Amino acid sequence: MSTPPAIRIENLAKRYAAPKGAKGEDAEGKLALNGVSFDVPEGSIFGLLGPNGAGKSTLINILAGIVNKTSGSANIWGFDIDEQRRNASRSIGIVPQEIVFDPFFTPYEVLENQGGFYGISGKDRRSEELLAAVRLADKRNAYARTLSGGMKRRLLVAKAMVHSPPILVLDEPTAGVDVELRRQLWELVKEMNQEGVTVVLTTHYLEEAEELCDEIAIINHGELIAHKPTRELVDMAREKIVAVTLAEDLGQAPAHEAFSKVELAGERGLEVTYNKDQLNAGQVLAILQEQGLTVEDVTTREADLEDVFVQLTGSGS
């Protein structure tokens, strides 16, 4: 028997109202989500990947109850977001894309207030434990406005977990965050996941999705264009590159029908792109040798998510 999904999204669509006085195509309003369906498996780290404007925040904000969907359905931890909104909300903790805090509360107060909001009684509150988990115990009594951007982000993660939801959702947790802080947040996400929390994160960083996520859904212009285990998605990039250094100078790149692309890289360097379903690196080298070239050095580059993304969206970002 398979466990029910942590989140199930079916045919979800959102059309934002058009601004007053909009004409032509704009008068219909922006179709931000166009019939998106997927399941988030319980216990996974799930990545919702897509370029800016793809519809990621719209989807998250529908789950959060901040944006009203136009059609379709969403189910969180078995609770329908329309029929069982309260239970659905209690099952999910959301870290929004924008950081907003009252600057005059301390981290401890922020968490206590949130606990009060959820009606959690004093003895059942987890404020101290959560501050420690997000490495903010020493900032317990500092004003929120004195915290760095990274600390604020971590405080938001703690705030989202106050009611101990089984699902944590982070909307672009590392956008505009430096490398060091990004690593810290990744560690935090992995820790939470190891403790059993299902994590959904949106990102436009391929590297982040590849590093953290078990499964990835890619959306572009409001449509789901892929949803697969990360490994399989990476395997979808069929193009591979062999870079060689030759013993002789080359005037022009040698062409061959089996190669998808050949580019000169300096005087004696050559980069051959080929489809790994049709050739292997050894055959690429054999073809070069048949053409009278002497190969001195070879490296191959594995396909990564970036390649898949470009292939699927036809864009570079």
CA distances from 226 to 47, 79, 209, 306 (A): 11, 25, 14, 14
DSSP 254: P
Q: How many Cα atoms sit within 13 Å of 55 on the Cβ side? A: 24
Task: Pick the closer one to ligand ADP by CB: 57 or 230.
Answer: 57
Taking residue 266's Cβ as centre, other Cβ atoms within 10 Å add up to 9
Using the rule CB under 5 A, is 57 a contact of Mg ion?
yes
Task: Pick the closer one to Mg ion by CB: 97 or 113.
Answer: 97
Shortest Å, Cβ 171 to Mg ion? 6
**C-alpha span between 84 and 219 (Å, rounded):** 27
Shortest Å, Cβ 236 to Mg ion? 25
Q: Give, in degrees to the nearest 5, the angle at Cα 102 between 99 and 108.
A: 95
What is the number of the residue whose Cβ is closest to Mg ion?
A: 57
Q: 199 touches which of Mg ion, ligand ADP, none (CB within 5 to 8 A by kind)? A: none
Shortest Å, Cβ 22 to ligand ADP? 10
Phi-psi bin for 254: left (phi > 0), alpha (psi -120 to 50), beta? beta
Closest alpha carbon to 30 in 42, 14, 44, 52: 14
90 to 109, contacts with Mg ion by CB under 5 A? Answer: 97
Q: 5 touches which of ligand ADP, Mg ion, none (CB within 5 to 8 A by kind)? A: none
Q: 52 touches which of Mg ion, ligand ADP, none (CB within 5 to 8 A by kind)? A: ligand ADP
Give Cα 59 to chain centroid, integer Å.
Answer: 13
Strand-pairing partners, residue 1, are none
Q: 30 touches which of Mg ion, ligand ADP, none (CB within 5 to 8 A by kind)? A: ligand ADP
Task: Pick the closer one to Mg ion by CB: 57 or 174.
Answer: 57
Residue with tokens 């993304």: 309
Shortest Å, Cβ 181 to ligand ADP? 20
Task: Pick the closer one to Mg ion by CB: 73 or 97.
Answer: 97
Provide the binding-site residues for ligand ADP, judged by CB under 6 A.
16, 30, 32, 50, 52-58
**C-alpha span between 311 and 307 (Å, rounded):** 6
Say which amino acid occupies 160.
A
List the strands of the sheet with 261-264, edge to edge: 261-264, 269-275, 239-246, 295-301
Q: 65 touches which of ligand ADP, Mg ion, none (CB within 5 to 8 A by kind)? A: none
Task: Pick the closer one to ligand ADP by CB: 5 or 50.
Answer: 50
Q: 153 touches which of ligand ADP, Mg ion, none (CB within 5 to 8 A by kind)? A: none
Shortest Å, Cβ 219 to ligand ADP? 7
CA dihedral 250, 255, 259, 261 (to 10 degrees): 70
Task: Pick the closer one to ligand ADP by CB: 16 or 186.
Answer: 16
Shortest Å, Cβ 80 to ligand ADP? 22
Give the binding-site size for Mg ion (rule: CB under 5 A): 3
Shortest Å, Cβ 175 to Mg ion? 8
Q: 43 touches which of Mg ion, ligand ADP, none (CB within 5 to 8 A by kind)? A: none
Task: Pick the closer one to Mg ion by CB: 57 or 89.
Answer: 57
Task: Pick the closer one to Mg ion by CB: 115 or 173.
Answer: 173
Q: Which residues contact 225 (CB under 8 A, 6 or more apart)?
A: 218, 219, 312, 313
Q: 32 touches which of ligand ADP, Mg ion, none (CB within 5 to 8 A by kind)? A: ligand ADP
Report the DSSP pairing between strands 198-203 and 45-49: parallel
Binding site for Mg ion (CB under 5 A): 56-57, 97
